[in-house]
Amino acid sequence: MRASRRNGAAVLVVAIASLVGFTYVRPVTVLETAGETLLRVRGVRSAHVQAGPYRLHYLEAGSGPPLVLVHGLGSNGMQDWGRLVASLSRQFHVYAPDLPGYGRSDRPPDADYSIPFQVDAVRAFMDAVGVDRARVAGISMGGWIVSRLAAESPERVQRLVVVDAAGMRPDGPPIPAEVLLPRNEVDVRQLIGAVRHKAPDLPSFVVRAILARRLQEEWVVRRALESMRDGGDWLNGTLARADMPVLVMWGKQDALISVDYAAALQAEFPRAELEVLDGCGHVLMADCPEAFDRVFLEFLGATP
């Protein structure tokens, strides 16, 4: 009996040591797996769908009016919107797709990953999951994508939320796009500082794992940035047909896309209101979750 207990304890120690070792080597994978497990427990489904020529991964939960959430450059649906999917599902049928090139979706090697390309992908995704018209929200590059979607297909967007959106001609403070292409640990910490006003102080082994992931996906981000530089897709003067109610949200301390662009973007929409949250950076939902949730839910028509 004692030998059996000793053997069991030894197996447990080895299992714990293996888990600790794997966490040290692959912390991003461990965090993603833990996050997905928690979402699954809370009723969030992870699935794939054929959307036009591409197979896209997405999160889905709820059964109310449809709500489509679009992530930013170099991110994915869970990273930008995962915290909110389960709570939003109490009022909405929530979809958070990974755009082509990101997360678990297809990465077509010959795509330009431009804004028009991603707008078509969001439309194809909505068609594939049977959503004709929805509330739609997007952050950063996702805000650019959904703004263009709302202008091109206003019949498909009931209400629109754009969060710290890219897409306005950079006539104001420069946008440090190079920070999105980190090459070492120092660059990763600069990236985190650019997108988070209240940046967490991550241990080096986590920073190294983030760097490895960013380097693996750099070609997609680089190709997307290259497609933006010709200036043919700026939102200036293109949003007159997006006449649905629009909420423009911005972090006052956004170090990536300055709040100076917020009022100009608001003015492009026929019916937009602006909400600037103090003490928040580029990723509002992470820096100021309570304030963001309150404003976001009130606009969408849910009860906070």
> Is 77 in the same domain as 99?
yes
Reported as a single tens digit per residue, the pLDDT across 140-152 is 999 999 999 999 9
CATH code, domain with 280: 3.40.50.1820
> Is 168 in the same domain as 290?
yes
> Is 8 in the same domain as 90?
no
Dist CA 224 CA 29 (whole Å): 25
Domain of residue 3 covers 1-41
Q: Band the pLDDT of 41: cuts 50, 70, 90.
A: confident
> Is 71 in the same domain as 173?
yes
> Is 120 in the same domain as 25?
no
Pairing of β 157-163 and β 246-251: parallel
> Is 89 in the same domain as 163?
yes
Q: Which two tokens stand for residue 55?
A: 């197979």
> Is 130 in the same domain as 17?
no
Q: Residues with Cβ < 8 Å from 208, sequence gap 6 or more?
A: 185
> Is 11 in the same domain as 139?
no
Of residues 208, 188, 204, the one with CA closest to residue 196 = 188
Handedness of CA 194, 81, 146, 267 (dihedral sign): negative
Reported as a single tens digit per residue, the pLDDT across 288-298 is 999 999 999 99
At residue 56, φ and ψ (nearest 5 deg) are -110, 140
pTM of the predicted structure, to 2 decimals: 0.88
Q: Band the pLDDT of 5: cuts 50, 70, 90.
A: low
> Is 235 in the same domain as 248?
yes
Domain count, the chain: 2
> Is 18 in the same domain as 155?
no
Percent of the chain with pLDDT over 90: 81
> Is 193 in the same domain as 231?
yes
Confidence check: pLDDT of 22 > 50? no
> Is 83 in the same domain as 191?
yes
